[in-house]
Structure 1
Amino acid sequence: MSRSQETLSLKRKRPEPNTLVLMPENVLLNLIKSKGDMGIWKADMKRETNLSEPVVTKALKALQGRNLIKEVVNIQNKGRKHYMAAEFEPSKELTGGAWYTEGNLDKDFINILKKSCSKIIEKFKVATAQGVYDFCKDNKIISVDITTQQILEILRSMVLDNEVVEVKSTGLGEFYKIPMGTVCYRTTSGMGLGQGPKVGAMASIPCGACPRINQCMPDGIICPKTCKYYQEWLDFGI
């Protein structure tokens, strides 16, 4: 065989450009990227690509080795292997938001925030969520970054646990610094006549103040059937 014939033979053996695109790794990477910050479950990859288990497993391992994808924890189904493109951060639906660390509820962090909120409310007798947040931030009570929304969720959970009471400012007395009608919080022991109308706890269905309402579903980990607050509310109404 002449040199020119050998060259032609080698050229014929080179993969077509489209062949590279259809390689399992590329197929899976494109699929995973298309799911954005929600990622995708391994079983769904097999179903959507029609690739076999060994092929998917090998391709995922290769993609992880190249740091193109990462495995993330899905709090709704911790036993499932969930993957996401490296450039995305998991959504709150997957991680549970700020209250979860590596897929586990950060009870220590929650308890620290609860105690801090309770002390601040006791100090000022009555406070708004924004007021509690500002005091925490200005006095560096919490060593990690927190948001007003996180403080609000903590206060709402404390209302459900009867640790504080949600009231509306009357604009008088202890409320003179807070505009009339503004929702604020005070300790349960501080309630008395003329000290603001109670609007939280059993005054309305607890779902309205639940910080996990977005994750509540009929057959989910968080659901009305297993919610003690919802059951207490039902029992209260009987």
Structure 2
Amino acid sequence: MSADEVSHQIFAIIQGLPSGATNDDLRKSIPDVTPALQVEGLNKLLQQGVIEVLKKGEKLIYRAKDPKKSTLPKEADTEEKVVYGIIEEGGNKGIWIRDIRMISNLNMTQLNKILKNLETKKLIKAVKSVNASKKKVYMLYNLEPDRSITGGAWYQDQDFEAEFVDVLNQQCLRFLQMKRETAESKRDGPLALKQMSCCSVKEVHKFISDLGISKVSLDEDDLETILKTVVYDGNAERILMSNDSYVYRAINSPLAPPGLVQMPCGICPVIKNCSNCGEVTPNLCQYMTEWLD
């Protein structure tokens, strides 16, 4: 076989192994190929930039590169390679320019020039974070920003969509109440009432999807976030099942709801870090303070 034929076979084997192929994997898959021809085929693939080499312990692993992933041109200078590598390490959560500067040890003028060049070549992009509206994070151009950066479905151009969240909150509550009313009409006893009035996130997700009230695609995690706001409002309870999943059930609360959905606590991405379990005042919660401003 020619070197081209060997490289095609090797590439097909590597593509079939998402975690990567070792030299042993290649030898077992193409036993008739000599080690020298195998090395030649691998070098050809590396030169073409379609595979990458990783080291795991004492073994080398060959893995197919993502064709959608940005790649730095060979003619890029050393400083660009350093900055690009730092940004690549930041993944889809990005990295602040201050951190890039500290790691790269470049002066601000030089760093700004490199970042501008990389942005012009569409190798990186700057994304504004909802957690710090005056700061930008940098990430590779083809990456989809993490929800902690964009705020997910609840933000549009960094603005919190309070009305949208409120509508979803009301519709989720309506579905839970409909489920409870149906269960109550059966009159099968308190235990059966509780079981029949419980709703899974999947059921609520289907209900909201069928309504067609959202212009953005919502997944089950999004709807569970909204269901939690219904719980925070005192209109529903969250029940842990034996399989470690949760179901939701409308309740008749004697108290007026606190209206947490009108504030960002209900969908706050840092609520888990809140020392007061959401019962905060603006001067205690930086995230809420920025939202109010």
TM-score range (shorter-chain normalised) is: 0.5 to 0.7
- Does 2:88 match 1:33? yes
Report whether the alignment pairs 1:130 with 2:194: no
The alpha-carbon deviation at position 123 of structure 1 amounts to 2.5
Q: Aligned AA for 1:95?
A: T
**Pair 139,95 (structure 1): closer, same or farther in 2 beyond 3 Å:** closer
Please give the alpha-carbon distance, in whole angstroms, between the structure 1 residues aligned to 2:218 and 2:229.
Answer: 16
Match of 2:252 in 1: 188
Q: Deviations over 1:142-187 (max 9, x none)?
A: 4432222222221121111113344689xxxxxxxxxxx9733114
- In structure 2, what is the equivalent of residue 216 of structure 1? 272
* Cα distance change of structure 1 residues 142 and 101 upon mapping to structure 2, 3 Å threshold: closer
Kept in 1: contact 2:176–2:248 (CA 8 A): no
Question: 2:118 aligned with 1:68, yes or no?
Answer: no
Could you say if the C-alpha distance between residues 157 and 112 of structure 1 is closer, same or farther in structure 2, counting changes exceeding 3 Å? same
| Counterpart position of 1:11 | none
Letter in 2 for 1:53: M
Contact in 2 for aligned 1:167/1:186 (Cα 8 Å): no
Normalised by the size of structure 1, how large is the TM-score?
0.62
The answer for the alignment partner of 2:77 in structure 1 is: 21
2:169 pairs, out of 102, 109, 114, with 114
Checking the alignment, whether the CA contact within 8 Å between 1:168 and 1:182 is kept in structure 2 is: yes
Separation in 2, partners of 1:167, 1:33: 41
Residue by residue, what CA displacement relative to the aligned partner does 1:59-82 show, whole Å, maximum 9, x if unpaired? 111221222111112233322231
1:19-74 Cα distance to aligned partner (Å, 9 max, x none) = 9531x333322221222212111011111111111111111112212221111122
Shift of 1:113: 0.7
Residue 189 of structure 1: how far off its partner (Å): 5.6
| Paired residue type of 1:227 | G
Report sequence identity in percent.
25
Which blocks of at least 5 consecutive residues in structure 2 are unaligned? 1-73, 181-196, 258-265, 282-293
> In structure 2, do the counterparts of structure 1 residues 76 and 113 end up closer, same or farther at CA, with 3 Å as the change threshold?
same
Greater shift after overlay, 39-48 or 98-107? 98-107
Q: Counterpart of 2:129 in 1: which secondary structure?
A: coil
Q: Does 1:90 align with 2:141?
A: no
The code of the aligned residue for 1:86 comes to Y
TM-score (norm 2): 0.52
In the alignment, is the contact (CA less than 8 A) between 1:133 and 1:151 conserved in 2? Answer: yes
Letter of the structure 2 residue corresponding to residue 58 of structure 1: K
Q: SS at 1:134's partner residue?
A: helix
Shift of 1:89: 1.3
Q: Does 1:48 align with 2:103?
A: yes
For residues 167 and 188 of structure 1, do their structure 2 counterparts lie closer, same or farther at Cα, with a shift above 3 Å needed?
farther
Give the unaligned 5+ runs of structure 1.
1-17, 170-180, 191-200, 202-209, 218-222, 231-238
Which has the bigger relative contact order, CA under 8 A and spacing at least 6? 1
- 1:69–1:122 distance in 2 versus 1, CA, 3 Å: same
Of 135-144 and 59-68, deviating more is 135-144
Q: Which amino acid aligns with 1:137?
A: S
| 2:279 aligned to which of 203, 207, 228 | 228
* C-alpha contact (below 8 Å) 1:71/1:83 kept by paired residues: yes
Q: Is the 8 A contact 1:73 1:81 kept in 2?
A: yes
Q: Distance in 1 between matches of 2:240 and 2:105?
A: 58
Q: Which amino acid is the alignment partner of residue 165 of structure 2?
A: I
2: CA distance, partners of 1:158 / 1:143: 21
Bigger share in strand = 2
For residue 112 of structure 2, give the secondary structure of its aligned residue in structure 1.
helix
Structure 2: how far apart are the matches of 1:20 and 1:134? 49
Q: Contact conserved, 2:271 with 2:278, CA < 8 A, in 1?
A: no
Give the match for residue 194 of structure 1.
none
Of 112-121 and 48-57, deviating more is: 112-121
